[in-house]
Amino acid sequence: MKPEEIAARLTPLLERETGGPVQIANVRTMTGGATREAWSLDATISEAGQPRDLGLVLLIFRPGGQRAFSARDEFRLLAATRAAGAPVPKPMFVGEAELGRPFYVMERLSGETIGRRLVREERFAEARRVLPVQLAEALAAIHRVPLDGRSGSDPLTFLPRPEPGKSAVASELVRLEAMYRQIAVEPHPAFEIAFRWLAERQPTSSDVALVHGDFRIGNVMVGEEGLRAVLDWELAHAGDPFEDLGWLCVRSWRFGVDHLPMGGIARRAELFDAYARASGRAVDPEVVRFWEVYGNLRWGVFTLVQVRSFLEGLSSSVELASIGRRTAETEWELLNLIEGKGF
């Protein structure tokens, strides 16, 4: 679809939604991916006779292909998390007929997402100071999102949920081990030990909440003053909220600043204390340790999945090949965590 065609088709929609004249300019393509196109555009709308400029992002879903959520479901997820107080881009409009394919429009934000810059550059020193509390508060807001439509919200029935008769923990372990058994072609003793260790130490918490599923440095947008937005919701599901805390502390998201386990910017205790204050949930470090072991194992399995595409000739991506070299990092970290080192 050409930029001028997008502008022509979206203008009537925005005028209908805003109730006034709209001008769209600077429609340009962004990095999208296999399942959807991403476009940046500038809109000028009229409010009380005064022009107001809006930066917008248009996401058009490609036909076919595997994706976590439909355009409408992803829009509903963003709306629900924003209503709960989580810092996410404001979802503006969702539709299909106007562009001939499912799409939604959200506000465009600016900031840094590259992890190695966030954990190292001096200009983000103040952000690193406040991020532990801001990230904990964002997680607490996400975990407060009602899943069943209480308080007049849209029920998030499309989210993956624990298998009937199984806890959130058991369901996640079953899914991860099935993925591992399908993809692994060579032995990984550290992974086998980790699966056994996790199976014997499953937390008994009955809490089920909205889990972001990929909450980490690299999937948040940060300015010099701190957190601006939580991004990348493709792995969201209903599960144990402490899964997000453990994933945030996985070694691979520290970008070399390994003495600060929480994303290379803070110690675990800072995150736990701030999350307990924001959420009202007491944090058991051993439960988070379980989920950190799970998170490292999960990322290790993901590295096998991604490098398999390269090894089997399905992709020539050097990035996928390099990710395959990181399997050993997760194995080393798993053995250390299981022995209680560094936690």
Question: pLDDT per residue over 30-50, tens digit each?
Answer: 876 667 889 999 999 887 778
Name the token pair of 192: 């086998």
pLDDT at site 317: 72
Summarised one tens digit per residue, pLDDT across range 85-107 is 999 999 999 999 999 999 999 99
pLDDT of residue 32: 60
How buried is 198 (Cβ within 10 angstroms: 0-12 exposed, 13-18 middle, 19+ buried)? buried
Mean pLDDT in residue range 220-231: 97
Architecture of domain 3-107: 2-Layer Sandwich (3.30)
pLDDT given at position 318: 73
Percent of the chain topping pLDDT 70:
95
Strand, coil or helix: what is 89?
coil
pLDDT of residue 192: 97
Tell me: the pLDDT tens digits for 58-80?
999 988 666 789 999 999 999 99
Tokens of 293: 């072991």
Question: Residue range 165-177: average pLDDT?
Answer: 89
pLDDT for 153: 61
User: Six-digit token pair at 9?
Assistant: 């088709």
Query: What distance, in Å, lies between the first and last C-alpha atoms of the chain?
Result: 51
Q: 17-26, 285-294, 308-317: which range is least confident on average? A: 308-317
Looking at the domain 115-338, which fold is it?
Aminoglycoside 3'-phosphotransferase; Chain: A, domain 2 (3.90.1200)
- Predicted TM-score (pTM) of the model is 0.91
Q: Taking the domains of the chain in order of start, what are their residue ranges? A: 3-107, 115-338
- Asked whether the predicted pLDDT for residue 231 surpasses 60, the reply is yes
Angle at 112 between CA 110 and CA 118, to 5 degrees: 155
CB-based burial label for 63 (10 Å; 0-12, 13-18, 19+): exposed
Confidence of residue 271 (pLDDT cuts 50, 70, 90): very high
The answer to whether 208 and 238 have CB atoms below 8 angstroms apart is: yes
Reported as half-sphere exposure (CB side, CA atoms, 13 A), residue 185 has a value of 6
Q: What is the pLDDT of residues 284-312, one digit of tens each?
A: 999 999 999 999 999 999 999 888 777 77
Q: Find the angle CA(64)-CA(70)-CA(72) to the nearest 5 degrees.
A: 140
Is 273 in contact with 262 (CB distance < 8 Å)? no
DSSP 318: H
Q: State residue 65's pLDDT score.
A: 61
Burial class (CB within 10 angstroms; exposed 0-12, middle 13-18, buried 19+) of 303: buried
CB atoms within 10 A of CB 313: 7
> Rounded to the nearest 5 degrees, what angle is found at the Cα of 165, between the Cα atoms of 162 and 169?
45
